[in-house]
């Protein structure tokens, strides 16, 4: 399949790897890298809709899934003077009953990985009300386990409580001054540009996990979201302001956002240092996967999620279900100079244990940056 876009001189090997990835795809993808405000890689190719044969275009939008969490983490960091991670959640949300801090929520240590009881996963307010009186599975802060959807319900409600605005509104206020094509609560005029999501025939989640009892917990955590192509492609899903996973955007916009973060344009230095420090580190108590979290951001881990160790050790961002990888490699200089924001976005969902696409791109990116 044809690859379109640009690479700066010296980045041609990135294009070669991307072309190989697109050539092996049922769907399409985009990969972007921004350094010091300038794009050095901006590539796209393949099919935005494998059913109709519609090609992936420069302005194709795609669901970010948990890449959304990185945007929301940036919103939270930008509000650091109003949202104290050491404060109990009930400081901002009086109806909340568990002894959970804001930091526990943002670092996936709250012990509330699923909503207990009948609920509509698209109803963030309703899910937040249920979580406010739910008993944690463990003492908050003592274990880390990824909260795929409840992170969004909890973080979104906290942000609403401290600002009076919905999380989708806060995202737009964050990105609008920079013209970034990112949306949470996607407006109808974006619908014609949406890529159709397709799952690989062998797609599975939580591929590190073998325990059947904890597999049942995982099923409750995702509430059927990834069990078929229908809900994830629905208008209702895109319209919902799910801070855990219904954002949409382009790879260019995501890479640009992380570049802006590195350069201190949207989050001040002290808040970023706090948000990208290690708040939780270990093996996921439910999924058996090594994880490391800051305040809402994933951090470089022991399995190389964010590239080679020399980059991944300082990296932050957030991946998305099915293969998306979005984040930043800070530079050696102050003010983010020399660092890069990057984003790999795809509409063909592959299992983590069978997907090397983002890893290959980050490996070759590391190589060319060193030349």
Residue with tokens 């010091």, as numbered in its chain: 36
Q: For residue 114, which of 135, 98, 83 has the smallest C-alpha distance?
A: 135
Taking residues 143-165, report their average pLDDT: 98
Taking residues 176-185, report their average pLDDT: 98
Topology of 3-369 in CATH?
A: Beta-lactamase (3.40.710)
Taking residues 143-167, report their average pLDDT: 98
* Residue 100 DSSP SS3: coil
Average pLDDT across the chain, whole number: 96
Q: What are the residues whose beta carbons fall under 8 Å from the beta carbon of 12, sequence distance 6 or more?
A: none
d(CA 87, CA 91) in angstroms, rounded, equals 7
pTM: 0.97
At 3-14, the pLDDT tens digits run 999 999 999 999
At 120-136, the pLDDT tens digits run 999 999 999 999 999 99
At 225-242, the pLDDT tens digits run 999 899 999 999 999 999
Q: Which pLDDT belongs to residue 337? A: 63
CA dist list (Å): 350 to 48, 80, 175, 274, 357 = 16, 35, 29, 33, 10
User: Which tokens is 186 given?
Assistant: 């996607």
Q: What is the DSSP-derived secondary structure letter of residue 177?
A: G
At 58-71, the pLDDT tens digits run 999 999 999 999 99
Q: Which pLDDT belongs to residue 243? A: 98
Q: What is the DSSP-derived secondary structure letter of residue 194?
A: B
Q: Which pLDDT belongs to residue 336? A: 57
Confidence tier at 371 by pLDDT (50, 70, 90): confident
Active site residues: 66
Confidence tier at 1 by pLDDT (50, 70, 90): confident
At 317-339, the pLDDT tens digits run 999 999 999 999 998 665 556 79
Residue pair 8/50 in contact by the 8 Å Cβ criterion: no
Q: What is the DSSP-derived secondary structure letter of residue 240?
A: S
283-320 burial code (b ≥16 CB/10 A, e <16): ebbbbebebbbbbbbbbbbeeebbbbeebbebbbbbbb
Taking residues 169-198, report their average pLDDT: 98
Confidence tier at 312 by pLDDT (50, 70, 90): confident
Q: Which pLDDT belongs to residue 313? A: 86
């Amino acid at each position: 399949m044809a690859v379109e876009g640009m690479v700066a001189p010296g980045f041609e090997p990135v294009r070669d790897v991307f072309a190989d990835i697109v050539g092996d795809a049922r769907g399409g993808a985009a990969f972007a890298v921004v350094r010091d405000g300038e794009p050095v890689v901006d590539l796209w190719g393949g099919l935005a809709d494998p059913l109709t044969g519609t090609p992936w275009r420069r302005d194709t939008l795609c669901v970010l899934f948990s890449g959304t969490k990185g945007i929301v983490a940036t919103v939270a960091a930008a509000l650091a003077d109003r949202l104290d991670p050491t404060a109990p959640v009930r400081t901002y949300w009086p109806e909340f009953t568990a002894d959970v801090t804001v930091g526990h929520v943002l670092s996936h240590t709250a012990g509330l990985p699923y909503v207990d009881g009948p609920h509509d996963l698209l109803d963030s307010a309703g899910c937040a009300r249920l979580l406010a009186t739910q008993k944690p599975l463990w003492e908050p802060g003592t274990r880390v386990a990824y909260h795929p959807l409840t992170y969004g319900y909890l973080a979104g409600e906290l942000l609403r409580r401290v600002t009076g605005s919905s999380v989708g509104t806060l995202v737009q206020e964050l990105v609008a001054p920079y013209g970034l094509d990112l949306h949470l609560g996607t407006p109808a005029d974006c619908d014609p540009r949406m890529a159709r999501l397709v799952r690989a025939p062998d797609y599975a989640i939580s591929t590190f996990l073998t325990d059947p009892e904890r597999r049942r917990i995982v099923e409750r955590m995702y509430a059927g979201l990834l069990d078929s192509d229908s809900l994830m492609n629905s208008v209702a899903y895109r319209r919902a302001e799910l801070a855990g996973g219904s954002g949409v955007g382009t790879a260019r916009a995501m890479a640009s956002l992380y570049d802006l973060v590195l350069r201190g344009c949207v989050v001040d230095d002290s808040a970023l240092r706090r948000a990208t420090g290690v708040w939780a580190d270990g093996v996921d108590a439910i999924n058996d996967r090594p994880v490391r979290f800051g305040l809402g951001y994933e951090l470089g881990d022991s399995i190389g999620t964010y590239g080679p160790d020399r980059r991944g050790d300082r990296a932050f961002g957030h991946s998305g279900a099915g293969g998306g990888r979005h984040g930043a490699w800070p530079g050696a200089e102050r003010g983010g100079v020399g660092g890069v924001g990057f984003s790999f976005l795809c509409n063909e969902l592959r299992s983590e244990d069978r997907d090397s696409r983002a890893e290959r791109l980050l490996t070759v990116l590391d190589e060319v940056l060193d030349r």
